[in-house]
Amino acid sequence: MTIYTNSDGLVQYYGPRTTNEIAIARQHINDSGSERTIELDVEYTHIGSGISTFLDQDSNFNGSNDSFSTSHAYIPANAIITDVKFYVKTAFTSGGSATLEVGLYAKAGGAIDADGLIAAQAVAGLTANTAIVGAGALATNDNVGTANAYVGMTYGTAAFTAGSGRLVVRYVPQRPQ
C-alpha cells in the first residue's frame, strides 16, 4: 500500500491495506511553524508484548516483518521532543495488570529507548477521556539521537483487551549545520 498526503493535508491510500497498515495509515504529521507534531490513532490490538505489531517491512526478505517501512512517520535525527501526551478515547482494560510503554525505535526495529516517552503507565490510569502526560526519559526537552526515531508501543505484564486513544508527540527538528 502507498500512502500520500497532498498539499491540503488529506491522506490518500493506494492498494490493499492490511491490519498493520491501517495502524500506520492513521498517522498525521503537522509541519507548520518550527514545532512539528506526529499524531497516531491507537487501538488496543495495535499494542503487542513486543514491537513487532508496529513493524511492517520485511527488509531481509525472510517472510517476516522486521523493520519500519517508509510509510511510518518518524522523528528526524537530532530533533528535540517538546511534549508527549496520550489521549484516551475508550478506556483500556486488561485481564491482568497491564502497563503501557511508549518508546522510540530505530528503523530496523531496535530500541532507542523502549519506554522513553511513556513508562509503565498502569491500565488503571488509562480511563476514558483522560490525558496521560509523557514521563519517560525522552518525553520533554531531550534529543532523540543521531538516527531517525520511530514511535512504538508495547504492553507489560498482561495484554490489553479493550481501549483506544491518540498519541501526540511534538518536536522541533534541528536545522542542518
- CA distances (Å), origin 139, targets 81, 90, 102, 151, 154: 6, 23, 10, 12, 16
And the C-alpha cell for 73?
512517520
Asked if 37 contacts 170 with a C-beta cutoff of 8 angstroms, the reply is yes
pLDDT attached to residue 27: 55
pLDDT attached to residue 98: 94
Stated as kind and residue range, the H or E segment containing 93 is strand 80-94
| pLDDT > 60? residue 9 | no
Q: Mean pLDDT over residues 67-78, rounded?
A: 82
| Domains of the chain, CATH where assigned | 20-172 (2.60.120)
Mean pLDDT of the chain: 82
DSSP secondary structure code for residue 62 in this structure = S
And the C-alpha cell for 169?
508527540
pTM: 0.80
Sign of CA dihedral 138, 123, 42, 58: positive
Nearest to 64 by CA among 20, 114, 29, 30: 20
Asked if 126 contacts 88 with a C-beta cutoff of 8 angstroms, the reply is yes
| pLDDT > 50? residue 64 | yes
| pLDDT > 90? residue 133 | yes
Counting Cβ atoms within 10 Å, is residue 121 exposed (0-12), middle (13-18) or buried (19+)? Answer: buried
pLDDT attached to residue 136: 85
Neighbouring C-alpha atoms within 13 Å toward the C-beta of 32: 5
pLDDT attached to residue 25: 41
Residue 121 pLDDT level (bands cut at 50, 70, 90): very high
